[in-house]
Chain A
Amino acid sequence: MNLPTTLKDLLASGETLVCIEDLSGKKGLLQAINPLVKLAVTAFMIVVSLFVSWLPYLALFCVVPVVLALASKIPVRGFLSRAFLIPLFSAVISIPTLFITDGAPIFSSNLGLFTLSITFEGLQKFLIFSIRVWFCVASLTLFTLSTGFDAILRLLASIGVPTIVVQLFSLTYRYFFVSIHELEKVLLAKEARTYLNKRTVNLESLKRSGTLLATLFIRTYERSERVYLAMKSRGFGISFAAKSSTPKLRATDLLFGTTAMFIFGLFVIL
């Protein structure tokens, strides 16, 4: 398909979501754990990482998500690439801490008017911050990769998130795929009647793109009306739907939860 890169990316994101769903369906360690326990352990791990500021410990922390990914049959390369984008950004914005933190200089460079020094304390601060961010993002990525969206929604409902919010998330996720499919159809129809290979951006092409987006919005609006009627025909608005429940806790869930919390708790005590 010869589509503009940005749109190709958008269509590819649909494929990515499908791929994530596949991962959550694999028979691995984390997939077998109750989502509630997984969420509690993830939150605990994140909180613990905020209290640990000794670099060797933090370095040890970084191994945990990788080991869990391997045990959960989640491709490590894909997992790491997903978990590196935000930490990379945070690392870039924390670069000034290398220079502005007081301490013993480990590297200095004379730039004429002033001297630029990287201090040991600054480097330590930078590394601690970057590793913490990476660990938090990696833990959450692991949680979402190993838990189906359906299970996440049920979990949100069971922990007291308002039904309307859960329904909004659910509808957004469900119709993301439909909208992508709709967009794909519109683009294909456009592509089928595009005879010139040369792609130039001018007023006319911008107008056409605007019309295309407007068509998509109108279709989306019309569909939302029909979906509302479909929901209404099955009792939406008459009474509240029964609260969804998460799977019951089993011995393995409790074992995983207590072991993980004990090990990470030790880091705080020590």
Chain B
Amino acid sequence: MSDSIVEVKDVYFSYPSGVKAILGVTLNICKGERVALLGPNGSGKSTLILLMAGLLAPQKGAISVFGENVASKEFPKQRRRIGVVFQDPDDQLFTQSVIEDIEYGPKNLGLSETEIKQRSDEVLKIIGINHLKDRPPHRLSFGEKKKASLATALVLKPELLILDEPTANLDLISRRGLIEMLNELNKDGATVLVSTHDVEALPELADKVVVISQGSVLGEGKTLDVLQDMKLLGLAGLEPPAIVKLFSELKTAGLVKDMPVTISDGVRELHGLLKKERLS
């Protein structure tokens, strides 16, 4: 595909401990897409993300990002186009204050002081953490740390934003805010890749889902199709969203034809059903 920005071809990766994390994965991510790697804990999502960010090198197969092989010596230059947000914000925030962490990447890029300040101010405002900028990371709540972590990646103005379990351990309001923020970034042209096992958040988080289990890709497709595919989800050891489970029961009982995956679609469907019931 011509507008492919991430190409993973038959990649294998094992950790020094002998754990085989990735076994022959092939996938493509195109520019502007919102893609989710869906799989249970230990399925290899985080490893695949590190490989795609060029932070680990595959032992077999090839990964190219923005047309550059991640194993090549030239690849680090491409990192400025990639923002990575780790699952645990304590891994991401390693300096003495939020602002210092936000400025770490731009300083390494060699940007001017003026531009660093401009970018930092902008990202602090977008994420709404201006009041936290001088606070040390150990004084922040988990949600605040997550936001600060995201800021450290966004300040690089990445074309590809990679997030490992972005919604994990977040309360519902923070989760909603984060999803909205990611969608805004996507509208502005960024390609967003997330790893998650949060099936409830998926419809709002991604357009395309790649299901991974035990280091292999079990299937991929549009989010709505994947979430309705009970067999595929079952194979991966996952459960569909609660709304799909409900409508699956209703469908089996012959009450509905479709299986919505979002609450709003479900409400619409139920509304129609109740209306029909009342008329009859």
Contact = CB atoms under 8 A, between A and B. Distances in A.
Interface stretch (A100-108, A168-176, A251-259): A168-176
Interface stretch (B25-33, B77-85, B173-181, B195-203): B77-85
Looking at chain A's contact residues, the main secondary structure is helix
Q: Pick the most buried of B83, B138, B139, B156: most chain A CB atoms within 10 A of its CB.
A: B138
A18 B136 CA distance: 10
Interface stretch (B37-45, B105-113, B182-190, B241-249): B105-113
A238 interface: yes
Contacts of A241: 104, 107-108
B88 A226 contact: yes
B50 interface: yes
A113 B108 CA distance: 73
Interface stretch (A56-64, A227-235, A260-268): A227-235
A223 B56 CA distance: 16
Contacts, number: 85
Interface string B135-171: 0111100000000000011001000000000000000
A233 B136 CA distance: 21
- Which bucket holds chain B's interface residue count? 35 or more
A191 interface: no
A84 interface: no
A183 interface: no
A226 B108 contact: no
Contacts of A227: 91, 94
- Which bucket holds chain A's interface residue count? 20 to 34
B136 to A, nearest CB: 7
A234 B50 contact: no
Nearest to A229: B55
Given A233-B82, A234-B108, A239-B108, A153 B53 contact: no
Contact of A150 (B53, B100, B113): B100
B262 interface: no
Interface of A: 18, 21, 149-150, 153, 170-171, 173-175, 177-178, 181, 223, 226-227, 229-242, 244
